[in-house]
Amino acid sequence: MRVVVAEDLYLLRDGMVRLLEAYGHTVVGTASTGPETLEALRTLKPDVSILDVRMPPTQSDEGLRAALAARSEMPGLPVLILSQHVEQLYARELLADGTGGVGYFLKESVFDADQFMDALERVAGGGTAMDPVVISKLLASGSSNRRLEALTEREHSVLGLMAEGLSNQAIAKRLFLGDSAISKYTTSLFGKLGITDDDSSNRRVLAVLAYLNRAG
Amino acid sequence: MRGLVKWAADAGTGFWRAAALTAVSMVVPAVWAAAVWLMIAWGSPWAATAPALWAVVATFLLARPICRTFRFFRRSWTGVVVPGGYREPVPAVQMSTGYWWNGSSYAKSRREAEKDQRLRMLWSDPATWRDLRFVWIAPFMVGIAAAVPLAGVACLVWGILDPGLVSILLAGVGLVAAVGAAPYAWRVIAPVTDRFLRGSPAMILADRVDELTAQRADTTVAQAAEISRIERDLHDGAQARLVGLGLSLATAEKLMENDPETARALLRDARAGAAASLSELRELVRGIRPAVLNERGLTDAVRAFALDSPLETTVSTDVQLSLDAPIESALYFGVAELLTNAAKHASATKATVLIARDSTSIAIEVEDDGKGGANEQNGGGLAGLRRRLAVFDGDLKITSPVGGPTRVRMSVPCE
C-alpha cells in the first residue's frame, strides 16, 4: 500500500516508516506539520495515511484538523489517527460523516505490529478501526439510548467488537462462536438499531455511530 | 394614579426610615443632653464631673452598636454592604504553664484573657476611633436631614391641637415639608456611610494582604504536595517499569542465541511493559493537564470529560474562550470534580454544564438532578475547589437543598 506518515517527532516517524517498510508497504510521503500533512494528503492521495493528532505549528489538534479537512474534500479518504491519548470527542468527529475508512488508535498500539497492520489494512479497505480504550469507555459509561438498551448482552459485546473494527470471522474467533451465530447476531442488532439493508453507507460504521451518538 | 400610589408608598416607607435614622443618630446627643441637664440640676461643679464621665463612657460603648445599626440599615435598604473593617481577636490559647495567652498578655483564666483582649482590641482598633468620629458626625449630617419629615409632622400636630393663625400656617408648611421630604430624607444615609463609615484604605489593604498571604501559603502547600505525588508516581510506576524493560531486553539479548524461545517470551513481556508504562504516564499527564485542554481549550475539554462521565451531561455555551492556562486548568478540574461528585455522592443521572462570560468574568454553572445536600464541610473537595478558585479571586456559590437539585456556580474575574 502507498502510505503517508505525519508525525512531528523524528524518532517516531522514522520508526514508523521502518515498521511499514518491514511489512512491505511503501511510504510515499512524510509530513511533520499540519499544513504539510494536508498538502501531502491532497497531492499524493495515498491508500492510507497515519496521522498524529498534535503537531506544529500550533501544537494543538493540527493532525486531526488536517484529516477532517482532507476527508471533506475527498470523502472516504482512509486515515488512521495515532494519538498519545484517546478521546471520544475526537472519535465522534472522525466518524461523523459516516463514510468509514477511519481509525483512531493509541500510539502504543503499534507495539503489537501484526494487529496494527491488520487495522491499517481494514482502514484502507474502507472499514473502521477503533482503539479498545475508546470502546471500553463507551461501554463503561452506560447507555441512555433506548435502542441500545434493547440489545442483549451478547449483541452488546458483538457491537463492541464490531466498533473496534473486527470482521465477523475475527469476532467469532474472539467470542468462541461460529460464523453463522455472529451473522445472526449482527442481523438482529442491525434490526434493533434501525439500520436497514438498503442503506448505502457502511452498515458497520452506522452501528458504531449509533454507539457514539448514544448521548446526543 | 398608579404613580401617585407608588409615590405615597415611597413616602410611607421613607417616613419610617427617616424616623429610624433620626432616632439612632440622636442617641449620643441625647445622652449628652441628659448629662448637661444633670449637671445643671445638681449645680455643684464637682457633682457635675460624674454625669460628664458617664456620658463619655456611654458614647464609647454605644459607638460600635450605632455604627453597626447604620450599616444594617444601609445593607437592608440599599443593598450595599459597607465593610466594617474591625480587627478580629485571635483565639486565646492555653500555654504549658496553664496560663492563657491572648496575643499580648498572660492571664490566669480564659475569661480574663479574653476580657483583657476585648478591651485591648477596642482601644487599639483604628475602627473604634472611626466609629467615635462617626457618632459625632451623624447627628449633624444624617440626623438633621432625616428629622425634616418628623418636624413637619410635629408642626402639623401642633397646628391641629392648638389652632391659631400662625400655627395653622405652620401646620400647612409642615404638611408640605413632611410629605415632600419623606421619600428623600432617608437617602442621606448612602453618601454619609460611604464617606465616613468605610474601613480606611490602610485597613482594607491590610486585610487584603492577610488574605493573599494565606492564599499563597495554601497554594505553596498544595503545589508541593502535587509535585511530590507526581515524583512518587513516576518513581514507583513508569520509572520502575522502564528499568524492568531494560533488564528484560538485556536478558533477551543474552538468551537470543542459546534459547530463542525464552528470548522471544521476554521480548513479548518487554513490549507489554512498555505499553503499560505508557498508559501510566498518560494517566499521570492527564492528572496534571489533560491533552484536550491543550489541544482544544476549555469548552471542548469539558465536552470531552462530559462524554466520559457516567452522567448524561449536556454542555452549553455560546462563547469562544481564550483564557490563561492556569485559570483554564482550575475551571476544568472544578467541573471534573463537580461532575464526579454528582455521580458518586449525589447519585445523579443527568447534569448540565453552562459556560458563560461577560465583560468582567467567566462563570461556569454545573447543575445535577441528584439528591442534594452537598456542603463544604462534608465534601473536602468543595472546600478545596473554593481555595483553588480563590487564588484567581474567583468565587464558588453552592445551592444544594437536601433532596436536590444541586447547583454550583464557579466564577473567576477576567478581562
Is the pLDDT at A105 greater than 60? The verdict is yes
Is the pLDDT at A141 greater than 70? The verdict is no
Under an 8 A CB cutoff, do A144 and B312 touch? yes
Under an 8 A CB cutoff, do A141 and B292 touch? no
Under an 8 A CB cutoff, do A85 and B312 touch? no
B264/A contact by beta carbon, under 8 A:
no
Under an 8 A CB cutoff, do A60 and B292 touch? no
- Residues contacting B29, CB < 8 A, separation 6+: B139, B143
B308/A contact by beta carbon, under 8 A:
yes
| Structure ipTM | 0.73
Task: Return the amino acid letter for B244.
Answer: G
A-chain residue closest to B310, CA distance:
A141
Q: Which residues of B85-110 are buried (b: 16+ CB within 10 A; e: fewer)?
A: bbbeeeebeeeeeeebbbeeeebeee
d(CA B363, CA B349): 23
Global model pTM greater than 0.90: no
Interface of chain A toward chain B, CB-CB under 8 angstroms: 53-54, 59-61, 84-85, 87-89, 92, 106-108, 111-112, 137, 140-142, 144, 215
A-chain residue closest to B301, CA distance:
A89
- Helix ranges (H only) for B189-324 are 189-196, 201-233, 240-255, 260-288, 291-296, 298-308
Using alpha carbons, select from B398, B387, B394 the residue that is nearest to residue B411: B394
Three cell numbers written together for B328:
483554564
In tens, the pLDDT along A180-207 reads 888 888 888 777 776 665 544 456 666 6
**Residue pair B200/B130 in contact by the 8 Å Cβ criterion:** yes
Cβ-nearest to A60 among B274, B296, B313: B296
In tens, the pLDDT along A152-163 reads 888 888 888 887
In tens, the pLDDT along A59-101 reads 888 999 999 999 999 988 999 999 888 888 888 888 887 788 8
Using alpha carbons, select from B408, B405, B402, B401 the residue that is nearest to residue B385: B408
Is the pLDDT at B204 greater than 70? The verdict is yes
